[in-house]
Amino acid sequence: MLGYATKAFFSIPVLVILVLDILALRSIWRDESRSEITKLIWTMIVFFFPLGGLIIWWFFGSKKY
């Protein structure tokens, strides 16, 4: 049985990934240079693969300024 400290340890990374995914989705949908289908594809990647999709989007989908 997991103790309180173990549950808190596992929930903090999950919360961080959730916040980063929400920020990624916000960035994806605010980008006016992308087509709707491209936005939908990136949304599905980030939604179905929360950590992996976030990493893939960071390297291949986000704009580097």
Task: Please give the Cα distance from 58 to 52 (Å, whole number).
Answer: 10
Q: Which two tokens stand for residue 53?
A: 């999709």
How much is the pLDDT for 11? 82
Q: 3-state class of 57 per DSSP? A: helix
Name the CA radius of gyration of the chain, rounded: 14
What are the structure tokens assigned to 15, written together?
């919360």
| pLDDT mean values, one per 10 residues, the chain (65 residues) | 62 89 94 93 95 93 69
pLDDT of residue 65: 44
Q: What is the DSSP letter of 49?
A: S
Q: How many CA atoms lie within 13 A of 5 on its CB side?
A: 0
